[in-house]
Amino acid sequence: MQPSAPGATAVRYEERLTAPPTWWALILLAGVSGGLVTLPLGVLPMLGGLAGGALLTAVLVSSYGSARIRVVTGSLVVGDARIPLSALGEPEVLDAQEAVAWRSYKADPRAFMLLRSYIPTALRIEITDPADPTPYVYLSTRDPQGLADALRGA
Are residues 46 and 86 located together in one domain of the fold?
no
Domain membership flag for residue 9: no
Burial label for 53, CB within 10 Å (0-12, 13-18, 19+), is buried
| More confident call, 14 vs 64 | 14
Task: Band the pLDDT of 3: cuts 50, 70, 90.
Answer: very low
32 inside domain:
yes
The answer to whether residue 1 scores a pLDDT higher than 80 is no
pTM exceeds 0.85 for this model:
no
Task: Say yes or no: 27 and 88 in one domain.
Answer: no
80 and 148 together in one domain: yes
Domain count, the chain: 2
Confidence of residue 2 (pLDDT cuts 50, 70, 90): very low
Domain assignment of residue 135, given as a range: 71-153
Judge whether residue 6 has pLDDT over 70. Answer: no
Query: Model confidence at 152, in pLDDT bands (50, 70, 90)?
Result: confident
Closest CA to 120 of 26, 25, 17, 21: 17
